[in-house]
């Protein structure tokens, strides 16, 4: 009986630390600090690279807000629409006839060079996740869609 207790204690010591390390944490988005960007949106940074630059961020655009044309600097960006309907246009000038809409689950790649674009939340609030890809590159299957 003593051997069984010792064995169970030994197994528990192996399992419990691993379980604690494997637990996921749901971030409470309302508790994060947001800064205003492009006058019309709020951004919070979720992850930084080794130099302290943003790697992953969330961008909130309230219904009716418009982000004027701006360029993407600092590398390739991958945007995922998490909620809402994003109105999007490419270029340095707004051309409503060329504007496209993207719903939840849409993934948009903004090129590293140039990449001028504008965005709006015309139908409802929009939440985007932005991943900056500075040193890396897209996987071959994703990159093939840019050609």
CATH number at residue 50: 2.60.120.10
DSSP conformation class of 97: G
* Cα gap 59→82, rounded to integer Å: 10
Per-residue pLDDT of the chain (147 residues; tens, 9 = 90+): 444 444 334 434 444 444 456 899 999 999 999 999 999 999 999 999 999 999 999 999 999 999 999 886 678 999 999 999 999 999 989 999 999 999 999 999 998 877 789 999 999 999 999 999 988 899 999 999 988
> Do 19 and 31 touch, CB atoms closer than 8 A?
no
pLDDT of residue 18: 45
Residue 2 falls inside a structural domain: no
Dihedrals φ, ψ of 6, to 5°? -65, -40
Residue 76 falls inside a structural domain: yes
Neighbours of 130 (CB within 10 A): 20
pLDDT of residue 111: 85
> C-alpha dihedral over 71, 76, 81, 85, to 10 degrees?
30
- The strand pairing partners of 88, in sequence order, are 100, 119
Number of folded domains that form the chain: 1
Residue 108 falls inside a structural domain: yes
Residue 82 falls inside a structural domain: yes
Which domain, by its residues, includes 40?
33-135
Name the pTM for this structure.
Answer: 0.82
92: its two tokens = 């340095």
pLDDT of residue 85: 98
Q: E-strand spans in 1-147? A: 35-37, 41-48, 54-61, 66-70, 76-83, 86-90, 100-102, 107-110, 117-120, 126-133
Residue 4 falls inside a structural domain: no
Residue 117 falls inside a structural domain: yes
Residue 101 falls inside a structural domain: yes
Residue 83 falls inside a structural domain: yes
């Amino acid at each position: 009986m003593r051997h069984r207790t010792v064995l169970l204690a030994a197994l528990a010591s192996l399992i419990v630390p691993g379980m604690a390390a494997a637990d996921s944490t749901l971030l409470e988005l309302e508790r994060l600090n947001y800064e205003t960007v492009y006058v019309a949106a709020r951004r919070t940074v979720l992850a930084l690279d080794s130099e302290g630059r943003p790697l992953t961020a969330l961008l909130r655009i309230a219904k009716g807000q418009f982000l004027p044309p701006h360029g993407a600097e600092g590398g390739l960006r991958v945007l995922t629409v998490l909620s809402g309907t994003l109105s999007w246009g490419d270029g340095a000038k707004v051309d409503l006839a060329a504007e496209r809409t993207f719903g939840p689950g849409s993934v948009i790649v903004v090129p590293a060079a140039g990449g001028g674009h504008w965005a709006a939340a015309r139908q409802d609030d929009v939440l985007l996740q932005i991943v900056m890809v500075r040193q890396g590159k897209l996987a071959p299957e994703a990159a093939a869609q840019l050609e």
